[in-house]
């Protein structure tokens, strides 16, 4: 009783307190884990969720700095309800920059390594002081994946003089680059002063993916590509190149390149050596195309920009450039109805099994030879099994049931592998009707022909009456009884 009155603990109570302190000291504390373990745990959260952990306690205030991803987007900095190009773009831009600077300032004091650095917001060269600070942090943090997308909200190229100048040299200093993926949008690359001279060790040695969208490139892009020994994915879309010829000729070609996309870059020539290429996408005017011996090419997509007729190029140039494409070839082009029915012999798509044609048909609606020559593509693909033909007729259709006798007579050479043909945008014009007859009479093993008057080519709305008339003309002019081995479906 005396011990209690004077506030002194008994021996047993003192031991209990000591044991309690020991148990508390052994309690799990998240902030005491090694930084590498914390990075793994926090990486399972979103950037916003990781940042919110700072309000849990004072000990957790700086815990989020171990988060391995820095994501600065409009939704992240302004909230999902804000619109970067909305009613107050100036306020949105100022707020975005202020909040992004606050995040970067706190991360600058840590020595964490970033796996991912992402900035997506419409900014210009006038904001270079802020962007430089963010990009420098990504370089100092040895970020592996970098996305800097400054494209304006409106889909237009914009003024080249307003583009932010990306300091590529920051990521190749000392020959110890950590960047594996680089994605840039609406920036300028001045390769005249940023690339290292021959023999230097400043190289993007482990870069595997390079994506450039609406990028203005000054200097020699070829030299940059040759520095990327591990490059597997290359995408150039709506880029402006100082040298319109993209030619990569070297004793050691791009051995690891698997995917190549070059869209709307106004090239005058594309030539490179990529022996292991498997996927290829190209949209440009009709220019020389040389890809070397790509024996592993499985899928290719080629868009020939309007308005010139692309049939001769597709028949003579593409089989030489893409002779080994096997799984699927998608070809988009325009044709003129008045063009003569001529077929020049040469290379073929020896392994192609699936062909997709997106065709804009223009010219005199009474002429038909320009459309009928599409059947000649069957001769360029001897093992073709599936043909999709999506058509768009630009002019008012001309209807007649008086078809050319050559189109409705047996073909001199029969295709032995084709089994399925799917035709859309079938308005029933003379050229389309003759083309359907030529395909039916040029095949041995055709199982099914599907005729769909609905248009699939993405253009402005056309009068649905054309589709109804196309259905009527197909039913009238194609006698199913003449082709008993083929199921003809008119939708």
Q: What is the per-residue pLDDT across 236-284, written as a single tens digit (0 to 9) for each?
A: 999 988 777 777 766 667 888 999 999 999 888 888 888 899 999 999 9
The per-residue pLDDT for 65 is 58
Confidence of residue 193 (pLDDT cuts 50, 70, 90): low
Please indicate whether residue 200 or residue 247 has the higher confidence score (pLDDT): 247
pLDDT at 201 over 50: no
Instruction: Work out the burial of residue 479: count CB atoms within 10 Å of its CB; fewer than 13 is exposed, 13-18 middle, 19 or more buried.
Output: exposed
Q: What angle do CA 473, 477, 478 make, to 5 degrees?
A: 115
Q: Which three-class secondary structure state does DSSP give residue 443?
A: strand
Q: Confidence band (pLDDT; 50, 70, 90) for 174? A: low
Q: How far apart are CA 164 and CA 296, in angstroms?
A: 38
Better-scored residue on pLDDT, 35 or 273:
273
pLDDT, greater one: 218 or 413:
218
| Average pLDDT of every residue of the chain | 79
Tokens 């970098």: give the residue. 146
Confidence of residue 66 (pLDDT cuts 50, 70, 90): low
What's the CA gap between 383 and 90, in Å, rounded? 59
Dump the DSSP string for 149-204. Answer: E---SSSS---GGGSEE--GGGGSGGG----SEEEEESEEEEHHHHSPPTT-S---
The Cα 290–Cα 294 span in angstroms is 10
Distance of alpha carbon 289 from alpha carbon 282, whole angstroms: 10
Separation of alpha carbons 180 and 184, rounded Å: 13
Query: What confidence score (pLDDT) does residue 160 get?
Result: 72
Other CB atoms within a 10 A radius of the CB of residue 40 amount to: 13
pLDDT surpassing 60 at residue 235: yes
Lowest average pLDDT, out of 119-123, 226-230, 256-260, 319-323, goes to: 226-230
Q: Quick one: pLDDT at residue 192? A: 76
Mean pLDDT of 282-305: 90
pLDDT recorded at residue 388: 94
Task: Return d(Cα 426, Cα 407) in angstroms, integer.
Answer: 17
Q: What is the pLDDT of residues 455-485, one digit of tens each?
A: 765 555 555 667 777 788 878 888 887 888 8
CB 135 within 8 A of CB 166: yes
Q: Is the bond preceding residue 383 a cis peptide, omega within 30 degrees? A: no
- Choose among 70, 126, 77, 125: nearest CA to 97: 77
d(CA 458, CA 463): 14
pLDDT of the residue at 112: 64
pLDDT in tens, 37-54: 665 666 556 666 655 555
Confidence of residue 141 (pLDDT cuts 50, 70, 90): confident
* Per-position b or e across 9-38, b if 16+ CB within 10 A of its CB: eeeeeeeeeeeeeeeeeeeeeeeeeeeeeb
Query: What secondary structure does DSSP assign to 246-274, as a single string?
Result: EEE--SS--TT--EEEEES---SEEEE--
The DSSP annotation for 293-352 comes to --TT--EEEEEE-SSSB-HHHHHHTHHHH-TT--SEEEEEEEEETTS----------TT-
| Residue 473: per-residue pLDDT | 81
The CA R_g of the chain, rounded to the nearest whole Å, is 32
Whether 85 has a pLDDT exceeding 60, the answer reads no
Q: Which of 30, 75, 34 is nearest to 53 (CA)?
A: 30
Which tens digit of pLDDT belongs to each residue from 90-126? 768 888 899 888 888 877 766 667 788 899 999 999 9
* Residue predicted with more confidence, 308 or 156: 308
Distance CA 456, CA 424 (A): 6
Q: Which of 191-200, 219-228, 319-328, 425-434 has the highest mean pLDDT?
A: 319-328
For 84-98, 134-148, 375-389, which range has the lowest pLDDT when averaged over its residues? Answer: 84-98
Residue 441: φ, ψ to 5°: -95, 0
> How many angstroms separate the CA atoms of 72 and 61, rounded?
20
């Amino acid at each position: 009783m005396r011990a209690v009155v004077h506030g002194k603990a008994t021996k047993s109570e003192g031991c209990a307190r000591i044991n309690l302190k020991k148990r508390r000291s052994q309690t799990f504390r998240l902030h005491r884990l090694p930084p590498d373990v914390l990075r793994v745990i926090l990486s399972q959260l979103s950037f916003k969720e990781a940042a919110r952990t700072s309000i849990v306690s004072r000990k957790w205030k700086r815990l989020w700095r171990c988060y391995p991803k820095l994501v600065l987007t409009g939704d992240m900095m302004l909230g999902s309800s804000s619109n970067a190009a909305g009613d107050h773009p100036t306020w949105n831009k100022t707020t975005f920059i202020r909040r992004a600077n606050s995040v970067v300032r706190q991360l600058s004091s840590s020595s964490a390594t970033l796996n991912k650095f992402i900035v997506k917001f419409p900014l210009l060269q006038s904001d270079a002081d802020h962007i430089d600070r963010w990009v420098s942090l990504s370089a100092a943090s040895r970020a592996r994946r970098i996305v800097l997308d400054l494209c304006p909200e409106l889909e237009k190229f914009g003024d080249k003089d307003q583009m932010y100048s990306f300091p590529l040299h920051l990521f190749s200093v000392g020959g110890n680059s950590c960047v594996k993926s680089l994605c840039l949008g609406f920036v300028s690359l001045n390769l005249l002063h940023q690339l290292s001279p021959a023999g230097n060790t400043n190289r993007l040695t482990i870069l595997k993916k390079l994506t450039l969208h609406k990028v203005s490139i000054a200097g020699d892009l070829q030299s940059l590509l040759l520095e990327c020994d591990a490059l597997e994915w290359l995408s150039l879309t709506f880029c402006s190149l100082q040298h319109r010829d993209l030619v990569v000729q070297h004793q050691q070609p791009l051995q690891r390149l698997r995917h190549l996309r070059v869209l709307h870059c106004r090239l005058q020539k594309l030539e490179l050596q990529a022996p292991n290429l498997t996927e290829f996408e190209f949209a440009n005017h009709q220019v020389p195309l040389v890809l070397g011996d790509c024996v592993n090419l499985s899928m290719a997509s080629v868009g020939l920009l309007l308005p010139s007729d692309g049939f001769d190029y597709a028949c003579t140039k593409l089989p030489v450039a893409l002779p080994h494409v096997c799984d699927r070839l998608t070809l988009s082009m325009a044709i003129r109805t008045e063009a003569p029915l001529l077929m020049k012999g040469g290379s073929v798509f020896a392994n192609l099994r699936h062909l997709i044609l997106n065709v804009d048909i223009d010219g005199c609606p009474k002429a038909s030879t320009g459309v009928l020559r599409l059947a000649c593509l069957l001769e360029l693909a001897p093992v073709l099994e599936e043909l999709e033909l999506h058509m768009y007729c630009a002019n008012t259709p001309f209807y007649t049931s008086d078809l050319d006798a050559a189109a409705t007579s047996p073909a001199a050479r029969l295709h032995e592998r084709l089994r399925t043909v799917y035709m859309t945008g079938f308005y029933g014009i003379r050229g389309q009707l003759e083309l359907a007859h030529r395909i039916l009479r040029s095949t041995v093993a055709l199982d099914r022909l599907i005729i769909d008057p609905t248009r699939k080519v993405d253009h402005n709305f056309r009068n649905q009456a054309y589709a109804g008339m196309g259905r009527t003309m197909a039913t009238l002019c194609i006698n199913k009884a003449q082709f008993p081995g083929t199921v003809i479906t008119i939708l």
